[in-house]
Chain A
Amino acid sequence: MKYLDEFRDSAKARILVREIEGLVASMDIPDDRPLNIMEVCGGHTHSIFRYGVEGMLPKQIELVHGPGCPVCVLPMGRVDDCVAIAEQKHVVFTTFGDAMRVPGSRKSLMQAKADGADVRMVYSPMDALGLARANPTREVVFFGLGFETTMPSTALTILQAESDGVTNFSVFCNHITIVPTIKAILDSPDLRLDGFLGPGHVSMVIGTAPYEFIARFYRKPMVIAGFEPLDILQSIWMVVRQIKEGRVEIENQYARVVPEGGNAPALRAVARVYELREFFEWRGLGSIDHSGVKLRAEYSRFDAERKFAIPNVPIADPKSCQCGEVLKGAIKPWQCKVFGSACTPETPLGALMVSSEGACAAYYQYGGVRHHEAAE
């Protein structure tokens, strides 16, 4: 398919790996203090494992897997709220497949479905709106999930429901924003990062300007990266080159998809439908100010939080879970006490084991072989 094969060419990957090796060889990087580069986005984590990118890199570069998987950072209490909505008799609860198996404190959406709740997987919020039109006697609720990448699609669906006069459709809004989260990571004291791979698809919506503070105030380089193996390797090369040359900039490797100004129609829909929450609770990271959005009062009739009684009880993560430390990059997935024993993709304790974009599931599935063995 267009621009997939071209960016998976192994000969070009070798060229990039050699360039990276050449760079680090000229940089005098101590063995016990490799360059730590964080990929913020779960999509990158997935690609890095799928294509074995970590294994291609010289040992002076360490990838730190960040918190950018919206399924993985969903706190248990939120899953409980989904289940509570789904269990109401007249409700059809619709969700992306990724969220079905995330454990709640009582059950996951999958278990709720097995117990008789009408939970349906949809590919698009538009499909949920279609279900609402087809089932006028039922209340169709869509579980709005994701960063700025999917935030506009939910907003546009709400605007469509409004203009079509659909009244039995609402959204349980759990959309989150990336920038306050990156700031929280930069402020966390136990972290040593040398640079970032920036989230490609969030950036295609918000553009490159919102990251400028990372270079200006935190003095860290960032390269906005695509998701194919060559994209990721090239972006790592660009980050390392900045470090070597003493530059601190926000660069854009993924210009074929990310325009500097972002996507104007998408941003307009977002601004029209949502407002920032005071704070939003993240699994493992705690509460982060202004990191989530909710529907504006004008759209309250589409807001499941106002339409339904929602328990909204915060639930602490199980004690044995170390998802928070993994999310912040403080420990590697296999260093979690329950990794691969009590916590596996079949019986996940933490959400990082659920989604294929979660660092733990990725390590489990594809094996972080080199680092894994070196650390044991």
Chain B
Amino acid sequence: MCLGIPGRIEKIDDLARNLATVDVGGVKRQVNIACVVSDEHPASSCVGDWVLIHVGFAMSRIDEAEAAETLRILTELGEAQAELEAMRSSASQQWRPGHDRALRS
């Protein structure tokens, strides 16, 4: 009930009632899209949109740019870690145990 599931709007069935067919992982189901249409984004332009569906209602359009941004942050973290890792391992090659103290003091 609270988790919702992403689906893609395939076609508008009933413009007056805001009903559309969505594809949810291969399963087709009619949902209400009243909460994702607006003057700037009328029902007719919704086909192809990814939406998050709760109890038969599309409640949010999934913002692809934001999703990519979130994933980009994670990728950058990974790259930073890899770089640190590389620094550490090359450092341990230069500063063998025993040399370590001598170098720092």
Q: Is B1 a contact partner of A255 (Cβ separation < 8 A)?
A: no
The answer to whether A145 has its CB under 8 Å from any CB of chain B is: yes
Question: Considering the chains assembled together, what is the distance between the CA atoms of A68 and B3 in angstroms?
Answer: 12
Q: Which of B4, B24, B63 contacts A201 (CB 8 A)?
A: B4
A286 at the interface (CB under 8 A from B): no
Cβ of A160 under 8 Å from chain B: yes
Q: Give A146 to B55 CA distance when docked, in angstroms.
A: 11
- Minimum CB–CB distance from B94 to chain A (whole Å) comes to 23
Q: Are A255 and B63 in contact (CB under 8 A)?
A: yes
A318 within 8 A of B: no
Q: Which residues of chain B from 1 to 56 have any CB-CB distance to chain A below 8 Å in the complex?
A: 1-6, 8, 17, 24-25, 31-32, 34-38, 50, 52, 54-56
Binds B, one of A15-23, A324-332, A362-370: A15-23
Chain A min CB distance to B31 (Å):
8
Determine if B1 and A146 form an interchain contact, defined as CB atoms under 8 angstroms apart. yes
In whole angstroms, what is the CA distance A265 to B18 when docked? Answer: 12
Q: B59 near A149 (CB under 8 angstroms)?
A: yes
- A117-145 interface bits toward B, Cβ cutoff 8 Å, 1 = contact, 0 = none: 00000011111000000000000000001
Residues of A within 8 Å of B1, CB to CB, are 70-71, 96, 98, 145-146, 149-150
* B side interface size, CB within 8 A: 39
Smallest CB-CB separation from B71: which chain A residue?
A: A6
Q: Mark B61-102, 1 if CB is under 8 A from A, else 0.
A: 011101101110111011001000000000000000000000
- Asked if A234 and B56 make an inter-chain contact with CB atoms under 8 angstroms apart, the answer reads no
Q: How far apart are B30's CB and chain A's nearest CB, in angstroms?
A: 8
Q: How many contacts between A and B, using CB within 8 angstroms?
A: 131
CB-CB contacts below 8 Å: A320-376 with B: 357
> Could you tell me the distance in whole angstroms from the C-beta of B100 to the nearest C-beta in chain A?
20
B-side contacts of A253, CB under 8 Å: 70
A147 and B3 CA atoms in complex are apart in Å by: 12
Instruction: Give complex CA distance A127, B67 in Å.
Output: 32
A357 to B1, CA, bound (A): 10
Interface residues of A in 1-48 (CB under 8 A from B): 1-4, 6-7, 11-12, 15-16, 18-19, 41-43, 46
Q: Which has the most chain A C-beta neighbours within 10 Å: B36, B37, B52?
A: B52
Contacts of B37 in A (CB 8 A): 265
Give the docked Cα–Cα distance between A16 and B64 (Å).
Answer: 22
Bound complex: CA of A266 vs CA of B4, how far in Å? 16
Chain B residue with Cβ nearest A230: B74
Min Cβ gap B3→A in Å is: 5
0/1 per residue, A244-257, Cβ < 8 Å to B? 00000000010111
Q: How many Å lie between the Cα of A11 and that of B78 in the bound state? A: 9
- Would A204 and B17 count as touching, CB distance under 8 A? no
Checking B34, B55, B74 against A15 with a beta-carbon cut-off of 8 angstroms, the contacting residue is B74
Interface set of A (CB-CB < 8 Å, partner B): 1-4, 6-7, 11-12, 15-16, 18-19, 41-43, 46, 68-71, 96, 98, 123-127, 145-147, 149-150, 152-153, 156, 160, 201, 204-205, 227, 230-231, 234, 253, 255-259, 263-266, 269, 357
Using a CB–CB cutoff of 8 Å, the interface residues on chain B facing chain A are: 1-6, 8, 17, 24-25, 31-32, 34-38, 50, 52, 54-57, 59-60, 62-64, 66-67, 69-71, 73-75, 77-78, 81
